[in-house]
Structure 1
Amino acid sequence: MQTLPHTAVTLAADLRTLGLSAGDAVLVHSSMRAVGFVAGGVQAVVEAFLDVLGPGGTLVVPTHTPTNSDPAGWRNPPVPATWWPVIRERSPGYDPARTPSRHMGVLPEVVRAWPGALRSTHPHVSFAALGARASVFVGDHPLAEGLGEGSPLGALYREHGKVLLLGCGYDRNTSLHLAECRQPRPAMTGYGAAVREPSGGSRWVTWTAPVADASDFARIGEAYEAGGEVRIGVVGSAEARLMAQRSVVDFATAALSERGLRPS
Structure 2
Amino acid sequence: MTATRTHLSEDLSRLSLKPGDLVMVHASLRAIGPVEGGADSVIGAILDTIGPDGTMVMVIGTDHSAREAVKHLPEAEQVEALKAQAPVDIRTAPADPEIGALAEAFRTTPGVIAGLHPDSRFAAIGPAAERIVRDIPLHDYLGPDSPLDRLCDKQGKILRLGADENTVTALHLAEYYAGVADKRRVRRWYHITDDAGSRVVHVDSLDDSDGIAAWDGDYFGDILNEFLASGKASFGRVGRARAELFSANDIVCFGSKWMTAHLNPKKRAS
- Asked whether the two chains share a fold, i.e. TM above 0.5, the reply is yes
Amino acid at match of 2:198: S
Residue identity over aligned pairs, in percent, reads 32
Name the SS of the counterpart of 1:171 in structure 2.
coil
> For 1:182, which of 155, 160, 177 is the aligned residue?
177
Q: 1:36 to 1:262 in 2, by over 3 A?
A: farther
* Cα drift, residue 147 of structure 1: 1.0
RMSD: 2.3
2-side partners of 1:192 and 1:84: how far apart? 7
* Amino acid across the alignment from 2:71: G
Q: Does 1:61 align with 2:54?
A: no
Matched, 1:218 2:215: no
Which of 128, 137, 144 is the matching residue for 1:142?
137
Q: Which residue of 1 aligns with 2:238?
A: 235
Normalising by structure 2, we get a TM-score of: 0.87
Q: Residue type of the partner of 1:99?
A: A
Which residue matches 1:123? 118
Please say if residues 94 and 123 of structure 1, whose CA atoms lie closer than 8 Å, have aligned partners that are also in contact. no
State the 1:92 CA deviation: 2.1
Separation in structure 1 between the aligned mates of residue 195 and residue 58 of structure 2, nearest angstrom: 25
Q: Which runs of 4+ in 1 moved over 4 A?
A: 68-72, 81-84
TM-score, normalised on structure 1?
Answer: 0.89
Q: Is the 8 A contact 2:158 2:245 kept in 1?
A: yes
1:99 and 2:96 aligned: no
Work out whether residues 229 and 243 of structure 1, in 8 Å CA contact, stay in contact via their aligned partners in 2. yes
Counterparts of 1:197 and 1:108, CA distance in 2: 21
Q: Does 1:51 align with 2:45?
A: no
Which amino acid is the alignment partner of residue 209 of structure 1? S
2:215 match: none
Deviation at 1:115, TM superposition (A): 1.3
Partner residue, 1:29: 26
The answer to whether residue 2 in structure 2 is matched with residue 8 in structure 1 is: no
Question: CA 1:233–1:261 in 2, change beyond 3 Å: closer, same or farther?
Answer: farther
3-state SS of 2:139 partner? helix
Measure the CA separation in 1 of the matches of 2:77 and 2:174.
37
Distance (whole Å) between structure 2 residues aligned to residue 56 and residue 155 of structure 1: 17
